[in-house]
Amino acid sequence: MALATKKREIRKSLRQPGWLTLEGGFAARQCVVQDLSSSGAKITIEDPNALPAKLRLAFSRDARTGRNCEVVWRRGKVVGIKFVR
């Protein structure tokens, strides 16, 4: 049997400002979206330790836009998130 190789999603390099809102839609924090795929994103934030496991990522400060996310990894100020429904 051949080993199944996990195919990585195509990631688009962005380096674009984004907004993270915590559950409840308040306390928007600015971040930089380093790259983006259909399943998640890599972001940079000044205080990653203050991020909860679940949050929302948007490209405007309007909390009604954006997508629900979960943190999957943290390395210093860089955080990996996956999109959830």
Whether residue 75 is predicted with pLDDT greater than 80 in this model: the reply is yes
- pTM for the structure as a whole: 0.81
* Cα 84 from chain centroid (whole Å): 11
- Please name the CATH architecture into which domain 12-83 falls: Beta Barrel (2.40)
Alpha carbon separation from 65 to 20, 23, 54, 56, 57 (Å, rounded): 11, 13, 16, 9, 8
Alpha carbon separation from 52 to 5, 10, 19, 22, 72 (Å, rounded): 31, 26, 14, 7, 11
Alpha carbon separation from 62 to 35, 69, 74 (Å, rounded): 21, 16, 25
pLDDT computed for residue 63 by the predictor: 59
Domain borders along the chain are: 12-83
Mean pLDDT across the chain, nearest whole number?
86
